[in-house]
């Protein structure tokens, strides 16, 4: 069917009133964008703007995905119907409605369903799948996206988001189902039981989070924290954790409501400095040492802290991750807790800073593709083989994991360790900027920055593909007079020299990503986003001199844009 035919079919269907109203108010451009394609699974499941249409997230698209996942589980996971599926959701518009619809679909296929009585953070969903030995899980969330979005993440029996090899048969099933507006429920003779989970899961999860402490005996005096859940799911668990640990915490009360419209925050994304505007006002008022800000579904965390000059600094995911690596590995080694054959995981677009710190402690780093599911997959592989021992996993995008009882990013674990680390160093008279500067004196000065360029509309994908094709045909030869050493093309799984001679292969799943390495140690990685219409440019500026590195990423980006004609 073409766009107009799809639109008319939806228009003539018995939609809920709110969807019908939105459908009838659309102009031609909006109709085209809502129906010209189907929402697709990206690096973190389905994510899209709420509203009617095949290219929007709504109860029909959610139903179709769940019918597909039901069939997938029954075909691929032993005892799936009795083991069941865990479903959770965040604070976004229609999240609870979608959760109840998902439960109804699974039940209609004879699959047992576990749901929570209200919203829960994403890491607790992963934990619950593992605790209950469920066949899989679903999390309704759009993470840190604006209020207009929602999303649908699928988890395997390990509590890990489905990797490409696992998700392909699911996508094949979904693509065979036909139009979402035509789909109905399963017809199992014995509908699956729908079970509402009690607080036991909450308490077990919190106890596991508390168990990751390395220096639990540290006094909490003279240490003040400001915390914001950004209207999201981490509030209840974080409050309980803070109280049990005895920290002096001031909550950003305006952002402690589960508001789906994020009314009291400039941005729900802790990667953006705007997300800290209100928290900074609170911090200055109470003279806080540390600010913690989690995203709406509670898997990412951003920090700001009072530096050596008594001014507040915001740190990136790369810098926070590097500090955590240093603290965790250093303290474990000092206490004799660092295991042999230890390994940390990062991604191919994460700063090289963390790798160098890990190497300093004799710990190997393995890099995976973007998407925490690949870190979860690696943890499971080594859990089986016993070849290596997991110590830490993180992404540059403000997500990390400290203990693998969860197989996704966990802001609550990060919260515990960041508080402990900051307090530990303050007790020694060191602020985090001093600690990081001392590290960089050893391993080199690193500044990493992500730039994104949006390509909205039906031609956006073609524009991004054109950029990638140009770079593959005419790879960068230098940046700021630093010559190219090599580049990696993850779509061909090959490593090439400056003159395009093949140097080796990449043992990772193929993906549309290019990474360039330069003589001065700097890097540039470029990839189209898997969940949004934008191209991401990751710059890693490296220098032996601190002043030389200041502003270097911006200069690199400007030179690259000229090269690409953007």
Catalytic residues: 143
Please state, as a whole number, how many other Cβ atoms lie within 10 Å of the Cβ of residue 311.
9
The rounded distance, in Å, linking the Cα atoms of 534 and 108 is 38
Alpha-carbon separation of residue 269 from 71, 144, 399, 540 (angstroms) = 34, 5, 12, 22
Phi, psi of 47 (to 5 degrees): -145, 130
Q: Which residues are CB-contacts of 263 (< 8 A; sequence separation ≥ 6)?
A: 231
Torsion of CA 548, 553, 558, 559, to 10 degrees: 70
Residue 336 in contact with residue 475, Cβ under 8 Å?
Answer: no
Please state, as a whole number, how many other Cβ atoms lie within 10 Å of the Cβ of residue 408.
28
Q: Which residues are CB-contacts of 253 (< 8 A; sequence separation ≥ 6)?
A: none
Torsion of CA 433, 438, 440, 444, to 10 degrees: 150
Alpha-carbon separation of residue 248 from 242, 289, 356, 425 (angstroms) = 8, 10, 34, 17
**The residue to which tokens 């209950």 are assigned:** 132
Altogether, the residues listed in the chain come to a count of 566
3-state SS track over 224-260? EEEEECCCCCCHHHHHHHHHHHCCEEEECHHHCCCCC
**Which DSSP letter does residue 45 get?**
B
Phi, psi of 425 (to 5 degrees): -70, -35
Q: Which run of H or E residues covers position 30?
A: helix 28-35
Q: Among 150, 159, 154, 92, which Cα is nearest to 123's?
A: 159
């Amino acid at each position: 069917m073409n766009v107009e035919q799809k639109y008319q079919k939806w228009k003539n269907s018995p939609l809920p009133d709110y969807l019908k109203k939105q459908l009838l108010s659309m102009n031609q451009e909006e109709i085209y964008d809502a129906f010209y394609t189907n929402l697709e699974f990206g690096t973190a499941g389905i994510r899209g703007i709420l509203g009617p249409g095949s290219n929007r997230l709504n109860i029909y698209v959610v139903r179709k995905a769940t019918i597909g996942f039901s069939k997938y589980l029954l075909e691929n996971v032993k005892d799936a119907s009795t083991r069941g599926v865990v479903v959770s959701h965040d604070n976004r518009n229609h999240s609870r409605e979608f959760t109840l619809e998902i439960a109804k679909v699974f039940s209609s296929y004879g699959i047992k369903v576990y749901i929570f009585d209200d919203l829960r953070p994403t890491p607790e969903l992963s934990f619950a799948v593992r605790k209950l030995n469920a066949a899989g899980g679903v999390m309704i969330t759009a993470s840190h996206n604006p209020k207009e979005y929602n999303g649908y993440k699928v988890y395997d029996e390990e509590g890990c988001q489905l990797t490409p090899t696992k998700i392909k048969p699911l996508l094949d099933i979904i693509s065979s189902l036909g139009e979402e507006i035509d789909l109905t429920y399963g017809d199992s003779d014995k509908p699956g039981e729908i079970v509402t989970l009690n607080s036991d899961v909450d308490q077990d999860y919190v106890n596991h989070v508390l168990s990751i402490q390395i220096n639990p005996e540290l006094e909490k005096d003279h240490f003040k924290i400001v915390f914001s859940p950004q209207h999201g799911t981490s509030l209840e668990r974080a409050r309980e954790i803070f109280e049990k640990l005895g920290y002096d915490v001031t909550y950003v009360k305006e952002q402690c409501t589960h508001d789906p419209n994020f009314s009291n925050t400039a941005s729900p994304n802790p990667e953006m400095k705007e997300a800290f505007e209100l928290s900074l006002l609170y911090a200055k008022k109470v003279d806080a040492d540390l600010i913690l800000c989690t995203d709406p579904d509670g898997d990412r965390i951003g920090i700001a802290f009072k530096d050596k000059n008594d001014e507040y600094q915001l740190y990136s995911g790369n810098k926070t991750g590097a500090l955590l690596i240093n603290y965790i590995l250093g303290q474990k080694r000092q206490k004799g807790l660092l295991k042999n054959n230890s390994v940390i995981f990062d991604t191919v677009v994460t700063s090289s800073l963390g790798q160098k710190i890990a190497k300093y402690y004799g710990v190997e780093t393995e890099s995976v593709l973007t998407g925490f599911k690949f870190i979860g997959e690696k943890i499971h592989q080594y859990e089986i083989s016993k070849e290596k021992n997991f110590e830490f996993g993180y992404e540059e995008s403000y997500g990390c994991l400290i203990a693998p009882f969860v197989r996704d990013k966990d802001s609550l674990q990060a919260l515990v360790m960041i508080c402990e680390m900051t307090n530990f160093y303050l007790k020694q008279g060191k602020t985090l900027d001093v600690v990081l500067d001392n590290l960089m004196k050893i391993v080199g000065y690193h500044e990493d920055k992500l730039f994104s360029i949006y390509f909205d509309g039906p031609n956006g994908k073609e524009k991004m593909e054109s950029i990638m094709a140009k770079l593959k045909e005419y790879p960068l030869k230098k940046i700021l007079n630093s010559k190219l050493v090599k580049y990696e093309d993850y779509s061909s799984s090959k490593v090439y020299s400056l003159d395009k001679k093949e140097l080796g292969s990449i043992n990772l799943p193929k993906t549309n990503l290019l990474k360039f390495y330069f003589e001065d140690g700097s890097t540039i990685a470029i990839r189209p986003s898997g969940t949004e219409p934008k191209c991401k440019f990751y710059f890693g500026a490296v220098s032996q001199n601190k002043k030389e590195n200041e502003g270097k990423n911006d200069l690199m980006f400007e030179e690259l844009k000229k090269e690409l004609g953007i």
